[in-house]
Amino acid sequence: MPTYTLKINGASKQVTVDSDTPLLWVLRDELNLVGTKFGCGIAQCGACTVHIDGVAMRSCQLPVSALTTEAVTTIEGLSAEGDHPLQEAWKAVDVPQCGYCQAGQIMTAASFLKDNPNPTKDEIREAMHGNLCRCASYNRIEKAVAIAAEKMS
């Protein structure tokens, strides 16, 4: 099996895995970064969302071999103290019920707000529509993203 050197949350990590191993399983099984969740396995639900060079991507369908020099950021790397404005807004609005989708939701929102720091409600809804929430907390998710956008601008 090949060895890959990956830049994960600002640190260099080496893993020896099959080339077609999805990044999700490298993160969870090899690096013990379990904040990124397995949801559907077909890149449809968003639970596995991470940033690749700042862009939100689904890690369940991204083979480790596709990464060369790209920087990967997981929910654990979004903020050293867990105090990113989105994380704070999530707590303030009491977004999670079961909490399973929240890491993917936050990572999608962080990438979106980086590109659109002053979104409208419709833009937030459109940006977040690809992330599924089993508990249907969509209104609270949208409210938390709006609050974070205000704090970040």
Q: Average pLDDT of 66-88? A: 95
Identity at 110, one-letter amino acid code: A
Contacts 24+ apart (CB under 8 A), 39-45: 39/100, 39/101, 39/104, 39/132, 44/132, 45/101, 45/104, 45/131, 45/132
Which is higher by pLDDT, 117 or 80? 117
pTM of the model: 0.96
- On the question of pLDDT at 127 being above 90, the answer is yes
Give whole-number Cα distances, 152 to 84, 86, 132, 143, 149, in Å.
9, 9, 24, 14, 5
As beta bridge partners, residue 22 has 63
Q: What is the pLDDT of residues 9-64, one digit of tens each?
A: 999 999 999 999 999 999 999 999 999 999 999 999 999 999 999 999 999 999 99
Across all residues in the chain, what is the average pLDDT?
A: 96
pLDDT for the residue numbered 153: 85
- Count CB atoms within 10 A of the CB of residue 51: 23
